[in-house]
């Protein structure tokens, strides 16, 4: 954020959070500090503490700022299931669930640091709760019991925030750490080789897995299973 523009705006929590998001986009999460943020805003660091309590409050606020700006947290309950023309016709429950999830996922493309922040948050802010409420209400409105809704939300896990909990994240390059472990012999892993060969045949120019495709596949599989459980009248053991 240009200092000349930022300095003309009266300092407020929203101004501070907007500048913090811009700073993270430019320098990465490591570049976000009270000193750097104060420099970007043309104020002394102590001036920031009138609007954010500490670094954790700043990170919580950055998440809140993005979710609110996206509109994810602005509508809850059955209002989330209305069509864009504001008629009373409800959307299909799958769209009511996947729409907000894909909305949050889209944020990750513009703000690659967002996942790291979301993974470490402990405070459920109003926009965070509103997003969870919107999904919960979509399941309940579709006839899911509170019991099944509870379990499905747990099953979705981090996917409600637009990312999958991968065991090994692909870096796109060779490992940077030094290891004394023996080098694996590829012939010991024929199953992995078969899957890799099939994937290369299907996507010969790809250099990594199709993250969006894998995310959509997992989300659809979970919702398919949830729908089958709902139709069968499933309930958890007492």
pLDDT per residue as tens digits for the range 38-54 = 999 999 999 999 999 99
Residue with tokens 């503490």: 49
Both tokens of residue 23?
């700073």
Mean pLDDT for 86-101 is 78
pLDDT per residue over 120-156, tens digit each? 988 888 999 999 999 999 999 999 999 999 999 999 9
CA 146 to chain centre: 24
pLDDT per residue over 202-231, tens digit each? 999 988 888 899 999 999 999 999 999 999
Contact 28, 67 (CB under 8 A): no
Predicted pLDDT of residue 8:
54
């Amino acid at each position: 954020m240009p200092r000349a523009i930022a300095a003309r705006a009266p300092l407020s929590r929203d101004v501070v959070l907007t500048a913090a998001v811009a700073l993270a986009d430019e320098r990465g999460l490591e570049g976000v500090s009270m000193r750097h943020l104060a420099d970007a805003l043309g104020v002394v660091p102590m001036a920031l503490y009138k609007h954010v309590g500490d670094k954790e409050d700043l990170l919580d606020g950055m998440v809140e700022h993005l979710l609110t700006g996206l509109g994810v947290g602005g509508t809850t309950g059955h209002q989330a299931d209305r069509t864009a023309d504001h008629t009373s016709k409800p959307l299909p429950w799958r769209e009511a669930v996947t729409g907000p999830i894909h909305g949050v996922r889209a944020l990750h493309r513009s703000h690659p640091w967002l996942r790291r922040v979301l993974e470490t948050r402990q405070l459920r802010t109003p926009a965070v709760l509103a997003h969870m409420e919107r999904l919960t209400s979509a399941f309940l409105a579709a006839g899911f019991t509170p019991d099944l809704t509870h379990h499905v939300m747990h099953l979705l896990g981090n996917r409600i925030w637009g990312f999958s909990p991968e065991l090994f994240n692909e870096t796109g390059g060779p490992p940077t750490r030094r290891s004394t472990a023996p080098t694996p012999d590829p012939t010991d892993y024929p199953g992995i080789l078969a899957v890799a060969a099939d994937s290369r045949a299907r996507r010969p120019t790809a250099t990594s897995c199709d993250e969006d495709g894998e995310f959509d596949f997992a989300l659809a599989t979970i919702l398919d299973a949830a729908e089958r459980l709902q139709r069968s009248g499933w309930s958890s053991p007492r």
